[in-house]
Chains A and B, each alone.
Chain A
């Protein structure tokens, strides 16, 4: 049983890695910056998957924090990027 889970986790990991490699192609190639931003976001999600798989492989719960953190950071980061790409600034100055 354990053997099966391990094997599946490793296979999944390799698949996720390939996915990261392909996303890397998109980040590098572009052609536009929004493409790259989205690709980076997707890499982050792959990262979450990777962390989960590692947690299964290492039989630990400590990586669960990491997964949650990646989630929140990705959101913040992507919003920041999006704002930058749209407006050119991230933090607006107070208008009042």
Chain B
């Protein structure tokens, strides 16, 4: 299985070389091999006697992360969908994309995506699953932005990236929580520990985070907004990623984890609730679209909502219906996208207002579209698979179990009505789509190109898919026990037996619900012009795209505002912030740890001349703050320096005193040297509050340093090391001047690097002075 998963990526390595011959042989023919091989590899697993297969390959054993592939009914369904539709889409893209396009890039992205999807559905390890999950987001981003010279493509790619990565990261958080609660990274082992997870205090958080990941990926309300904008991608990409595979990754995630979560009532409320809202909103909004792919995008959203809702119901019947509909949706929606691509390709536009009456010009496409849309609408005809899943959906919505949450019971009562309401709009947009494109008046003068039937190669894939629609429609039990029953069992946790049949007799409520849908839908579809004004008011300004644009815009503006608010270029501001932070943190730590200590036992006596010198220094220091005479301030500063050297003398530190004197003199001289170039000191016109805050900060900082010094002096944790120096300086260092022995012998490295510092400073000054007039030295 490892090889099957990574086969596409391995092939992708060779694509750039193969694409050099694209003028002779279309690169897509090579690509076709990968999904076909995987499809053929997995197809023998279909059958009545199916047992899950586990294969492990080490990756990071110390972190318990490895490529643990788990093939059960659920992953088998998805793997076959991905590889099967992947084959058809690649075939379709060979005829759709001209060789003048950058085929190498397209197929590399597509192959990366295939590997990523295989990895998502086959991984048993949550972290590997997450890695592949992000890879689908990234490759989808690349594919949506394939025509990157278009502004809309870049916008759509960015939007889908932001939303799906946001969800992916939340999901990652959920996985981490799950792993830390259960102590395992394997999904199957987590399912065995369902009770631990359900009783965990983090259960709500895990559920919310995982559902956030699933909802964003599967374009559930209100995160569906990226999917319509992702329609800027080439049509094969839309057909593959945004109808059949990637958007079902979220469905897969919910299905995979539903053995854990389905015990919880909140799972029912959230998944079913959001699913139903998505179903209604998607189908309602689809009627409004004028772009063929726009209609299909909202239709996909709506159908995904329906599947999600059924997963949320969690009953045996609902799970089976969901699984069935995953398969059905992939077949008819894939074919519809391909037909939309054909119409676009052959007529030059996808705008449904310009299209019409194409049935006579493109008879095969029109026939395929009729099958696809009628199946999507759930019209009760015995050869359409969409009807079965829709009827099962109605059936499942009628038999919801009682719940302990009152709200959930209300929801359970309302769901059948909501389901019918949403399905009516599904019917309306399906009819609108197919009749608007293929029936009615011909408007050939409005079309950019003269429409004609598509080449055979382009039609092969949709024909295969529609044949699939009809075969499943005619013989629904063909896929039941061999295939879908295993999938449903993997989700439900117990064997699911279901016999699907077209006719239940007159005594079946779902049939009447279907008839209601068709009846109302026909009426609404015929009178669409009379009520379509409603879209100006609903959603109108409430459109979620506006919310998204507003949010992105506000994020940029707010972060710019925050940055500008403190990064104003004033050193004064930065210094204040730094000092405030230091003062607050230090006092905070002192407060929390009760670190202040006051110990006067070890103090020397204070003499009068010390006090006088200190007072003189203090007066001089204060004076420098207030003077505006440059020379005076330097000279007074000199007093402080000399006072300090005097203190050194009094405390018998002759070396320090020597150095301090020299440095002080040189500093004064240096100040005088550059005085000529310095601006005049002037009275600063600052507001009272500014002055006050500066005063508070400086006093606070001084107080802090004082307190630290007092505390440090009062806390003697260890013996002093200076006694050791005093004793051994003569014997070890061979010198009596202890300070100098320490400087060059005991701690010579420090001295070395301080010499280096001086050297660098000297070189820098020389460089600054010498290079300042040269051009380009900035």
Chain A contacts for B607, CB-based, 8 A:
10
**Chief secondary structure at chain B's binding surface:** helix
Shortest distance from the beta carbon of A84 to any chain B beta carbon, whole Å: 5
Q: Are A66's CB and B673's CB within 8 A?
A: no
Q: What per-residue 1/0 map shows which CB atoms of A15-42 lie under 8 Å from chain B?
A: 0111011001001101001001101100
Name the interface residues of B659-676: CB closer than 8 Å to any CB of A. 661-662, 665, 668-669, 672-673, 675-676
Among B631, B632, B649, point to the contact of A66 (Cβ < 8 A). Answer: B649
Q: Are B623's CB and A28's CB within 8 A?
A: yes
Known: A10-B607, A24-B619. A33 touches B642 (CB 8 A): no
Q: Are B652's CB and A47's CB within 8 A?
A: no
B367 at the interface (CB under 8 A from A): no
Q: Are B631's CB and A85's CB within 8 A?
A: yes
Shortest distance from the beta carbon of A75 to any chain B beta carbon, whole Å: 10
Among B620, B658, B675, point to the contact of A28 (Cβ < 8 A). Answer: B620
Whole-angstrom CA separation of A80 from B638 in the bound complex = 14
Whole-angstrom CA separation of A25 from B632 in the bound complex = 12
Q: Are A69's CB and B635's CB within 8 A?
A: no
Shortest distance from the beta carbon of A11 to any chain B beta carbon, whole Å: 10
Known: A27-B636, A66-B658. A17 touches B649 (CB 8 A): no
Name the interface residues of B581-639: CB closer than 8 Å to any CB of A. 607-609, 612-613, 615-616, 619-620, 623, 627, 629, 631-632, 635-636, 638-639
B2 at the interface (CB under 8 A from A): no
Q: Are B657's CB and A66's CB within 8 A?
A: yes
Interface size on B, residues (CB 8 A): 37
Chain B contacts for A58, CB-based, 8 A:
652
Among B635, B650, B668, point to the contact of A27 (Cβ < 8 A). Answer: B635
Whole-angstrom CA separation of A39 from B657 in the bound complex = 21
Q: What per-residue 1/0 map shows which CB atoms of B58-90 lie under 8 Å from chain A?
A: 000000000000000000000000000000000
Whole-angstrom CA separation of A91 from B627 in the bound complex = 27
Q: Which residue of A lies closest to B651 (CB)?
A: A54
B112 at the interface (CB under 8 A from A): no
Whole-angstrom CA separation of A28 from B650 in the bound complex = 25
Q: Are A50's CB and B652's CB within 8 A?
A: no
Chain B contacts for A60, CB-based, 8 A:
652
Q: Are B632's CB and A77's CB within 8 A?
A: no
Shortest distance from the beta carbon of B357 to any chain A beta carbon, whole Å: 94
Known: A10-B607, A47-B646. A90 touches B636 (CB 8 A): no
Name the interface residues of B377-416: CB closer than 8 Å to any CB of A. none
Whole-angstrom CA separation of A27 from B631 in the bound complex = 11
Q: Are A36's CB and B631's CB within 8 A?
A: yes
Chain B contacts for A84, CB-based, 8 A:
631, 672, 675
Name the interface residues of B32-72: CB closer than 8 Å to any CB of A. none
Q: Are A13's CB and B609's CB within 8 A?
A: yes
Chain B contacts for A50, CB-based, 8 A:
646, 649-650
Q: Which residue of B lies closest to A73 (CB)?
A: B665
Known: A28-B620, A76-B665, A90-B669. A47 touches B642 (CB 8 A): yes
Whole-angstrom CA separation of A69 from B665 in the bound complex = 11
Shortest distance from the beta carbon of A23 to any chain B beta carbon, whole Å: 8
B654 at the interface (CB under 8 A from A): yes
Chain B contacts for A40, CB-based, 8 A:
635, 638-639, 642
Whole-angstrom CA separation of A54 from B636 in the bound complex = 24
Chain B contacts for A17, CB-based, 8 A:
608-609, 612-613, 616
A86 at the interface (CB under 8 A from B): no
Chain B contacts for A90, CB-based, 8 A:
669, 672-673
B contacts, CB < 8 Å to A? 607-609, 612-613, 615-616, 619-620, 623, 627, 629, 631-632, 635-636, 638-639, 642-643, 645-646, 649-650, 652, 654, 657-658, 661-662, 665, 668-669, 672-673, 675-676
8 contacts between A and B (CB under 8 A): A14-B612, A17-B616, A33-B635, A37-B635, A60-B652, A77-B665, A84-B675, A85-B631
